[in-house]
Structures are given as structure tokens and as C-alpha cells.
A and B are shown apart, each in its own frame.
Chain A
């Protein structure tokens, strides 16, 4: 009789889920694109110091990392701070070669913008860091970055 039929007790209609995969795929692609897989296994403990006046490292592809800290495997390697380049321990003398390799792996045009990020454990003594810095200077890698954790409120 009435034009608009009142619903009879049929339960709620099923929601159309056919577009759900599309939504999930969209999310998936987003994360696939933004993902950076960790490329090295850390052999040294690196607990970064915090600082307030930090700048972001802009181009990830133009950054090479040097890790310095006490070895994770203290039973085998002791507690003295060691340098890690790529996947293995290295000595200070190995730094120039590392820099040369990193440089080789980049475009000609980008080489001057190569930044070396130093990820150094908090309690490391400056001696080893200074040695590395001297080697970097000799190798011509002048742009360095002391990687830190950004803290907005610094302990005063």
C-alpha cells in the first residue's frame, strides 16, 4: 500500500567487501615504498646520545655509516670500543678504503654530497672518534654527521 516499504526484520544487509583488497593493497604499496630494510647487522652496541639542535639527514642514499661502540659479543671481543664498517669490525686504517668504496658506489655528480654519519655509542672515548675523523679528513670526506636522538627537552 505504502510506497516506501518498511523493512521487515531481515537483519542488516551484508557489507560489500569486494573493495577491501584494493584498500589493503594501497596501504601495502605505501609501506613497500617507504620501507628501508636494515642492510647491516650491528656488531657493536650503539646507544646514541641525545641533542636538541639536530638536522635531518636529507638523502639517505648519500649517507654512509660508520658505527663505533663496544662489541655486542663481549665474551669474544672484549668491551673496548671498536669500529664497524659495513658488516665487520675494522681498524682505523680501513676507513679511507671504506670511503673510497662508498664514493665509487655513487654517481659522479653525487660524490661531493656524500655524508658520513657517525653512529657512536654514548660512553665511547673521543680518542677513537678523533682518529676516525682524522682519517675522514685525509680521505676527503668532509661532510660528517654525528647521529643523535632528537630530544625536545634537554636535561638542564
Chain B
């Protein structure tokens, strides 16, 4: 007994069902990837020891509770912070007492390059607003990124962000180390 062929299923509403699901996922989707300023925290120290760094190698950046800046002992401005930091971190040759020391590094792909021994020391108060702190971090990052870009332009003819080869990125990172040191927390001024 031959079976009757099964009646065809009406697939006309299939599209509607799919549409419904599609719209649901469209609405719930968040495409944007989180982004931000990535930093590495230093490992904890039991008792903060004073590491002797020459005064000329340190650029002190203080942010107080009123979000005012003190850069190297003078009142600073967020607008000029990047340029100050950049100038400070640019290796100077021949040696100049007003700038941090310069060392010559042997880096593969680059050969011997001048590298500044400068450190930017960032200190903030408990009362500093997070917005200001991020602003300062951002400006400092900008200074380093510009230095990296310049270095990258000189040696590889392209901006740092456009470099693809792992060893090239590593070489530039070694030539321009991001040295932002954050002080152990303590309160600056009155709270």
C-alpha cells in the first residue's frame, strides 16, 4: 500500500518567525568592544623602599583634591602637560643637566638608539576626581604615543599603531619605554 505523499508544510510564516528572532537579537546585541587605558600595576611591596633615582630623571606630576596640577614644582595645566611630558622624555644629546640622563641602547632592528632614563611620577590625592585622573593618564599616554610614533616614523616609515610585525613593535616599545610610576598612596594636602 503506497503511502500518500505527505502534504507540503506551508513555509510562508518561516520568514516571520526568523524575523522575530532576528529583531530580538538585533536589539540585544552590543557590538561595541570595551576600550580604555591599560596599565600594569606594580607588585606590592611590604615597606616602600626609597629607590635612589636622580632628581633630574623624575618629572613629578601631582594632582590635588581640587583637580589642580603641580608639574615639577610649578603649577601646571592639563593642556600643556602632554608637551611638557614629551619634552621631558625626549632623549637629549649631549648630556644636559636640565634633562634626564640619556643612555644608548642596542636594540635589534634599530641599532643603537638614544633612550631617555626619565620617569614620570604621578601622584594623586584621595579627593582627586576620577575624570581628572583619567585626563592626566590620557595626556601622559599621548606624550608616549607621540614619541613612539616619531620613532616608528624614523625607522619604519609608518606610525606605531600601523606596525604589524611583532618584532618591530617590540623594538619601538623597548626604545620608548612607558615609564609612569604611581606613588604609593598617601594624602597630599588636607582632605
Contacts and interface: CB of A to CB of B under 8 A. Distances in A.
Given A27-B22, A53-B138, A148 B130 contact: no
A53 B135 CA distance: 10
B138 A125 contact: no
A144 interface: yes
A148 B134 contact: yes
Interface in B37-52: 37-44
Contacts of A142: 40-43
Nearest to A135: B44
Given A24-B22, A51-B134, A156-B79, A130 B34 contact: no
Nearest to B140: A53
B37 A31 contact: no
A28 B37 contact: no
- Among B15, B25, B36, max chain A CB count under 10 A is at B36
B37 A53 contact: yes
Interface string A68-81: 00000000000000
A125 B142 contact: no
Interface in A107-131: 115, 117, 120-127, 129-130
B35 A57 contact: yes
Interface in B86-110: none
B124 interface: yes
A101 interface: no
Interface string B101-136: 000000000000000000000001111111101110
B70 to A, nearest CB: 15
Given A38-B30, A52-B142, A28 B21 contact: yes
A124 B133 CA distance: 10
B24 to A, nearest CB: 9
Contact of B18 (A25, A129, A136, A154): A25
Interface of A: 17-18, 20-21, 24-25, 27-28, 31-32, 34-38, 49, 51-57, 60, 63, 115, 117, 120-127, 129-130, 133-134, 136-138, 140-148, 150, 154, 156
29 contacts: A28-B25, A31-B26, A35-B28, A36-B29, A51-B36, A51-B37, A51-B141, A52-B138, A55-B37, A56-B34, A57-B33, A57-B34, A60-B33, A63-B34, A126-B128, A129-B130, A130-B124, A130-B185, A136-B41, A137-B41, A137-B44, A142-B43, A143-B40, A144-B38, A145-B37, A146-B38, A148-B134, A150-B35, A154-B138
